[in-house]
Amino acid sequence: MITRALARDIPKVSLHCHLLGSVPAATAVELAARAGVLFPGDPSAATVYDSTAYADLGEFMSIYDLIGTSLHTRDDYRRITYESLTDFGAHHNVWYREISVTPQPSQLPYPSALAGIVDGMRDARTDTGIDSRIIVAINREHTVGEAFSLVEEVVEHRVDEVVGIGLDYQEILGPPAPFSPVFAFAKRAGLHRTAHSESGPPAHVVTLLDELHCTRIDHGYHVVSDERITRRCAEEQLPFTCTPVSSDIGRYSGSGDGSHRRIRQMVDAGLRVCIDSDDPPMFGTDPSNDYYAVGNALGYEVAQLVAFTANAIDSCWLDASDKAALRTRLASWTPGAAEHHDEWK
């Protein structure tokens, strides 16, 4: 039995957490009011995130985008980055995070938003020790031309903190193949590549590997529906960043009953599975709760949960020496040794 305290204590490396999806509810309501942005129903901080009320992914994304349109200053970005990395990061013993950043809904030019994010990253590291990098996410519902323009801007304003790009939003509205030239350009520029694949066919995973040259897949639960593709991914040790709570609500990782059966199938098939929290406050979760949920639903002991963290270390986009340092730190971890930075709650 994994207790909530133990789930919180386990070290975590976070590879699938969206900046706009990890804005605390009170902050989201405050920033929206200041910017004149109206959420449906004029909710309070207690009701703005109701994961049971999302009719589908599109409705969820509409709330997500409203948060983005509420950000008007560099300090707005500094604040939400800092709060994400502390409230939904260091407080849950997250040692390192690759933050997924979606620039398109923002009212601020990319360079200014980027500067604010880096400010927040540095402040969070100073105050709590959490390290982080940035993945710039493409909205696949926009045109390939817009995606190209975004990646060109990323390259033009390249900073060390930006390590890769991702492909986000609704897979059904933006299949991966058309974005292959954009990802080829990113590869030539030295950027790592990942992409969401949660509602499309297993064949999309092959497209992501062979045409977009992704080195990680976000979600990817449907891969277990195709034995041949599953076997290939296991042989290549392709990382999958799974988010149990949000994916159960969206019925991607099972039947919406908390069984997380596809995550079990992925682990049993030898896939390299990492666990994360996606958009934590928007789905009523946090990094500790996702470890707790998957651990208890699937009967996993501490060793398997720590193995998920080890997988994330192996799958992250830090350099070899930084990965080695994280592995050494994880190897020396014992339950009860974590610092949780309770001052952030």
- For the four alpha carbons of 129, 11, 77 and 220, in that order, the dihedral sign comes to positive
Q: How high is the pLDDT of residue 344? A: 35
As a whole number, the mean pLDDT across the chain is 94
Cα–Cα distance, 145 to 202 (Å, whole number): 26
Q: How high is the pLDDT of residue 76? A: 98
As a residue count, the chain comes to 345
Q: How high is the pLDDT of residue 106? A: 80
Cα–Cα distance, 234 to 181 (Å, whole number): 27
What is the token pair recorded at 176? 């991966």
Pairing of strands 94-101, 162-168: unpaired
CATH number of the domain bearing residue 312? 3.20.20.140
The dihedrals phi and psi of 217, each to the nearest 5 degrees, come to -125, 130
Given a cut of 70, the residues of the chain with pLDDT beneath it are 254-255, 337-345
Q: How far is CA 127 from CA 18, 191, 276, 341, 344, in A?
A: 21, 29, 23, 9, 10
Q: How high is the pLDDT of residue 342? A: 47
**Domain count of the fold of the chain:** 1
Q: Tell me, what amino acid is at 85?
A: L
Q: Within 13 Å, how many C-alpha atoms sit on residue 343's CB side?
A: 5
Cα–Cα distance, 26 to 61 (Å, whole number): 19
Under 8 Å between Cβ of 284 and 51:
yes
Q: Within 13 Å, how many C-alpha atoms sit on residue 179's CB side?
A: 35
Instruction: Give which of 129, 135, 133, 119 is closest to 90, Cα–Cα.
Output: 129
Domain that holds residue 99: 4-344
Cα–Cα distance, 311 to 234 (Å, whole number): 13
Residue 337 DSSP label: -
Cα–Cα distance, 24 to 88 (Å, whole number): 9
Q: How high is the pLDDT of residue 345? A: 35
Cα–Cα distance, 168 to 149 (Å, whole number): 16
Q: Tell me, what amino acid is at 336?
A: G
